[in-house]
Amino acid sequence: MLVKNYMKRDPVTVKKDDSFRYALKLIRKEGIRHLPVLDGKTLVGIVTDRDLRQAAPSPATTLEVHELNYLLERLKIEAIMTKKVITVAPMTSLRDAAKLLFAHKIGCLPVVEHEELVGIITEGDILRAYVQREESLEAAPTPELVVEDRPGAFEAVTTAAGTGPATVVSGTTVRNGERRPILIIRAPALVVAELRKRLITAGHPPIDG
Longest dimension (CA), the chain: 95
What's the chain's Rg over C-alpha atoms? Answer: 29
Which CATH number applies to 3-133: 3.40.50.740, 3.10.580.10, 3.20.20.80, 3.40.50.920? Answer: 3.10.580.10
Contact 11/74 with Cβ under 8 angstroms? Answer: no
- The pTM of the full predicted model, rounded to 2 decimals, is 0.62
Q: What is the pLDDT along the chain (209 residues), one digit of tens a residue?
A: 899 999 999 999 999 999 988 999 999 999 999 999 999 889 999 999 999 888 776 554 555 556 656 666 678 999 999 999 999 999 999 999 999 999 999 999 999 999 899 999 999 999 999 888 777 656 655 677 888 888 888 888 888 877 567 778 787 777 777 788 888 888 777 778 888 888 898 888 888 64
pLDDT in tens, 149-169: 888 888 888 888 775 677 787
- Sorted by where each begins, the domain ranges of the chain are 3-133, 144-201
What span, in angstroms and rounded, lies between the C-alpha atoms of 102 and 2? 17
8-9: strand order across its sheet: 8-9, 116-122, 108-113
The pairing of strands 34-39 and 14-15 is parallel
CA triple 126-45-103, angle to 5 deg = 45
